[in-house]
Amino acid sequence: MGLVMILVAAAFLAVARYAVTPARTRRTWLVALIATELGYLWAVLAGVLALWSATMTGQEGSTSETILRVGAGVLAAGAAALFLRPVLSAARLAGRARRELTAVFGLREEAVLWSWRRLLIGPMRARRVAVETHDVEGLAVDFYRSLGAAETAGAPCVVLVHGGGWDSGDRTQLAGLNHWLAAHGVAVAALSYRLAPAYRWPAQRDDVCAGVAWVRANAVDLGIDPTRLTLLGRSAGAQIVTAAAYGEALSGVRAVVALYGCFDLEFVWSIRSDKDALNSDKLVRQFLGGPPEGARIELFRSGSAEKLVHAAAPPTLIIHGVLDELVWCRHSERLAAALAQVGAPHVFLRLPWATHAGEANLHGPSGQLISGAVLQVARGV
């Protein structure tokens, strides 16, 4: 029994370590998501094993059996502590994040970024709204109509752009977040855009601009305020929305939210590899057509928010997980530094435990902070 216990405890610890160390392959990234965004559930199991090992230690058995039981208890207790790191860190970060968001976006007093109750019962209370699909210049838009919006001029609206390395993904990626926002009074228009390699940059920017224009033109029918738009992009979508917001004149866009994106395409080119988890060499080549040479230099620049920043840029919320190895947190650090240099209003939330796509569990540590921050930014604009 002692051998089985220590093997199980060792397995818990092997998974829990991803709450403090980065996952460097696509397979371990999925394990890291489980460890960080559902870790509080695994902590219960690891804690039970630690307690069971403690009660078993005092029972009769050989010396080796006792050592195995003690070892299992120590490993299980360590795993439980690591599994709890994300939720404890999120609870501590929420207060500071709220203050910073209030300073830039003028949040309301009822802004809530963290709730232990939501952590436990949030999934059971999820509300869903009807989804309307529209055609915009041959591309689909899913519209989530706001419920219970009190604004007489219409609800604020988040225009959401999906990720997927520019060659995959679709507008349904963050359906759970979209339903949640709509249920809390913020409409969502989830856009499609043309994918590489069939379409290269700036086709994606042009599609987002067309989507924003469509939302504004149909504001009355959609029940939204066309002057209170928030652009939100995740991963590849974050690159697209920031480049569009900083480089184009997008009427009505009052704020930008960038989730774990990359913002300097020349820097991306310099660190690309065909051996990393995403085969970034392939992704960048098919997105941009080749290196930043000749006429492509301007192409790279037009897609690089870091080089397009200016003092009048829309207030920006940047969120990135420190342990993200698919898209390094360094990308967001560089964008935040560029915004600070020109005096553009922004908030940069670094999530110490999080990996890529941390909002996978909408009610988990990353999911609560991201959804709560997006909600309050959209309400505040």
Beta-bridge partners for 182: none
346-351 sheet: strands from edge to edge: 131-136, 139-144, 187-191, 155-161, 224-234, 253-259, 316-321, 346-351
| 3-state percent breakdown (helix, strand, coil) of the chain, nearest 5 | 55, 15, 35
Rounded distance between C-alpha atoms, residue 262 and residue 235, angstroms: 7
* ∠ Cα 299 142 214 (to 5°): 60
Q: Is 42 exposed, middle or buried (0-12, 13-18, 19+ CB in 10 A)?
A: buried
Query: CA dihedral defined by 359, 364, 370, 372, rounded to 10 degrees?
Result: 140
**Start and end residues for every CATH 3.40.50.1820 domain found in the chain:** 114-380
Architecture of domain 114-380: 3-Layer(aba) Sandwich (3.40)
Q: Residue 209's pLDDT is what?
A: 98
| 96: its two tokens | 């500071």
pTM for the predicted model, two decimal places: 0.96
pLDDT in tens, 271-320: 999 999 999 999 999 999 999 999 999 999 999 999 999 999 999 999 99
Phi-psi region of 246 (alpha: psi -120 to 50; beta: other; left: phi over 0): alpha
User: Residue 32 — very low, low, confident or very high, per pLDDT cuts 50/70/90?
Assistant: very high
> Is the Cβ–Cβ distance between 320 and 331 less than 8 Å?
yes
User: Residue 62 — very low, low, confident or very high, per pLDDT cuts 50/70/90?
Assistant: confident
From the list 131, 204, 117, the residue with the least C-alpha distance to 168 is: 204
- Residue labelled with tokens 């093997």: 7
Rounded distance between C-alpha atoms, residue 10 and residue 17, angstroms: 11
Q: Residue 234's pLDDT is what?
A: 98
* ∠ Cα 273 292 159 (to 5°): 80
Q: Residue 238's pLDDT is what?
A: 98
Rounded distance between C-alpha atoms, residue 70 and residue 284, angstroms: 51
pLDDT above 90: residue 155:
yes
User: Taking the CA atoms of the chain, what radius of gyration do you get in angstroms?
Assistant: 23
Handedness of CA 307, 105, 360, 180 (dihedral sign): negative
Q: Is 162 exposed, middle or buried (0-12, 13-18, 19+ CB in 10 A)?
A: buried
pLDDT in tens, 88-147: 999 999 999 999 999 999 876 667 899 999 998 887 777 899 999 999 999 999 999 998
